[in-house]
């Protein structure tokens, strides 16, 4: 009698082909899989990205929906949650007064501005961030599908495959960099080879990627919900 093999994803019949009925990328070399998944990600019209990213010593918890002309969603860092919205080049940031106050870091908001006077004006409204303001460079990347995925979807070191798995009920092939120390990426074996789960190298966060190709509304907030300070956010 054929025994059942216990894998990381469940029970597999002896001699069963784990790639049967898939898109076939599970049979390819790891480097080819990475190329195909990056191509698939770049060609998709939209994606949802959620999880954590650690950069410059700060952990950001993201729940963003992204497409070619912008993105929208929430970001949490240092105990404060704020919303980002970018339509074309126009970036808006919405947070409560506590975000702008940040008394625990010496009266400086996360955007780097003295917040005592600004908090009452900015709390609860979409603040249009000037392109020349340091905050624009700091946060716009979280709303840029091309920049964000290009920076995240590269594994480091020698690439290899690490078996068949599942992610949110979807069969995947996992590829690794330097046996996992350079990051791991689960790639869909169903339909397009989209990346579904990324564990970044060096403990720099874990991200889930979903809703590939699913469009969502993206428009600027109404004028009565917006504060526009012009050239620079207030510093006092």
With bands split at pLDDT 50, 70 and 90, how would you rate the model's confidence at 106? very low
Closest CA to 84 of 97, 98, 70: 70
Report how far residue 139's alpha carbon sits from residue 30's, in angstroms, rounded to the nearest whole number. Answer: 32
Report the C-alpha gap between 78 and 109 in whole angstroms. Answer: 11
CB 114 within 8 A of CB 101: no
- Measured CA to CA, the distance from residue 6 to residue 216 in angstroms comes to 40
d(CA 62, CA 8): 27
DSSP at 141 = G
Separation of alpha carbons 153 and 132, rounded Å: 28
- pLDDT digits over 164-198, tens only? 999 999 999 999 999 999 999 999 999 999 999 99
Element (DSSP H or E) covering residue 118:
helix 116-122
Under the banding of pLDDT at 50, 70 and 90, the label for residue 132 is confident
Computed over every residue of the chain, the mean pLDDT equals: 85
Q: Are strands 70-77 and 80-87 parallel, antiparallel or unpaired?
A: antiparallel
Res 6: pLDDT? 46
Integer-rounded Cα radius of gyration of the chain:
21
| C-alpha to C-alpha distance for 75 and 63, rounded to whole angstroms | 7
Rounded to whole angstroms, the Cα distance separating 144 from 19 reads: 34
Tell me the mean pLDDT in the region 20-42.
96
pLDDT, tens digit (0-9, with 9 covering 90-100), for 48-96: 999 999 988 999 999 999 999 999 999 999 888 999 999 999 999 998 8
pTM over 0.85: no
Q: Please provide residue 113's backbone torsions phi and psi, each rounded to the nearest 5 degrees.
A: -120, 145
| 195 burial level (CB within 10 Å; 0-12, 13-18, 19+) | buried
């Amino acid at each position: 009698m054929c025994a059942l093999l216990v894998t990381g994803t469940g029970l597999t019949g002896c001699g069963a082909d784990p790639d049967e009925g898939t898109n076939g990328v599970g049979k390819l070399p790891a480097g080819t899989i990475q190329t195909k998944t990056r191509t698939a990600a770049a060609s998709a019209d939209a994606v949802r990205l959620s999880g954590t990213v650690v950069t410059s010593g700060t952990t950001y918890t993201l729940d963003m929906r992204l497409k070619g002309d912008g993105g929208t969603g929430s970001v949490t860092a240092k105990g404060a949650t704020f919303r980002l919205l970018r339509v074309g080049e126009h970036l808006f940031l919405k947070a409560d007064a506590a975000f702008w106050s940040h008394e625990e870091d010496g009266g400086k908001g996360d955007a780097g501005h003295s917040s005592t006077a600004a908090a009452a004006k900015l709390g609860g409204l979409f603040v249009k961030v000037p392109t020349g303001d340091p905050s624009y460079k700091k946060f716009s990347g979280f709303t840029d599908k091309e920049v964000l995925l290009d920076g995240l979807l590269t594994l480091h070191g020698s690439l290899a495959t690490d078996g068949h798995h599942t992610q949110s009920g979807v069969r995947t092939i996992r590829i690794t960099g330097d046996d996992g120390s350079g990051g791991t990426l689960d790639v869909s074996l169903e339909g397009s080879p989209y990346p579904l789960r990324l564990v970044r190298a060096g403990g720099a966060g874990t991200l889930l990627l979903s809703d590939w190709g699913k469009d969502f509304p993206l428009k600027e907030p109404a004028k009565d919900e917006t504060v526009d300070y012009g050239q620079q956010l207030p510093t006092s």
